[in-house]
């Protein structure tokens, strides 16, 4: 299910409401320096990724991988686009259990699409204060434009 989508310019979200995938693709095509669109999906439903594949030209094998969880962590380069698989872990302190998930990222000129499988942590809570340096770095990375999209996406991860 698509949970949110937005157009960013110089690190600032340009729309209050979520964009349709078609509108996001239009904005991506017209994106200038410092602009990109982001679409977030959790547990993709049938047809979600195929629709985005047509709109954004996503590679067929990457779409197949993102459809189902349990991929190995990897980075695949498809000319101007990249597909990344990251493993996530969420600790439930009250039950002393660790739940694992997966995030798949499609990124290319003017766009980022994230596909999450499994439980996840609320990222906003970890970036909720002005004094949190990783959030400041991510925000400044967004302002830097497309060339910094990878840095802003991975600023909280050690690869």
Domain boundaries, the chain: 2-121
Does 141 or 12 have the greater pLDDT score?
12
The pTM for the full model equals 0.76
- pLDDT category at 159 given cuts 50, 70, 90 is very low
CB of 1 within 8 A of CB of 44?
Answer: yes
50-72: burial string, b at 16+ Cβ within 10 Å, e else: eebbebbebbeebbebbbebebe
Q: Please tell me the distance from the alpha carbon of residue 76 to that of residue 74, in angstroms, as a whole number.
A: 6
- Residues 66-117 pLDDT 10s: 998 888 999 999 988 999 999 988 888 899 988 888 999 999 999 999 999 9
Instruction: Categorize the per-residue pLDDT at 120 as very low, low, confident or very high, splitting at 50, 70 and 90.
Output: low
Structure tokens at 67: 């459809």
Task: Give CATH for domain 2-121.
Answer: 3.30.460.20
Q: Which phi and psi angles does 87 have, rounded to 5°?
A: -95, 140
pLDDT reading at 30 higher than 50: yes
Whether residue 63 contacts residue 49, with contact meaning beta carbons closer than 8 Å, is answered with: yes
Q: Show Cβ contacts of residue 140 under 8 Å, excluding neighbours closer than 6 positions.
A: 11
CA dihedral 14, 43, 105, 16 (to 10 degrees): 0
Report the DSSP beta bridge partners of residue 84. 75, 105
């Amino acid at each position: 299910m698509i949970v949110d989508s937005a157009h960013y310019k110089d690190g600032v979200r340009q729309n209050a409401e979520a964009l349709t995938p078609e509108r996001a693709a239009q904005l991506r095509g017209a994106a200038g320096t410092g602009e990109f669109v982001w679409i977030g999906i959790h547990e993709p439903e049938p047809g979600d990724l195929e629709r985005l594949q047509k709109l954004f030209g996503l590679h067929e094998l990457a779409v197949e991988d993102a459809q189902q969880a349990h991929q190995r962590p990897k980075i695949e380069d498809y000319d101007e686009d990249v597909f990344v698989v990251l493993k996530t872990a969420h600790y439930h302190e009250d039950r002393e259990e660790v739940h694992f998930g997966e995030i798949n990222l499609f990124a290319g000129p003017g766009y980022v699409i994230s596909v999450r499988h499994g439980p996840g942590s609320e990222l906003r809570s970890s970036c909720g204060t002005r004094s949190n340096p990783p959030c400041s770095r991510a925000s400044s990375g967004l302002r830097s434009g497309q060339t910094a999209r990878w840095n802003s996406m991975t600023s909280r991860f050690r690869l």
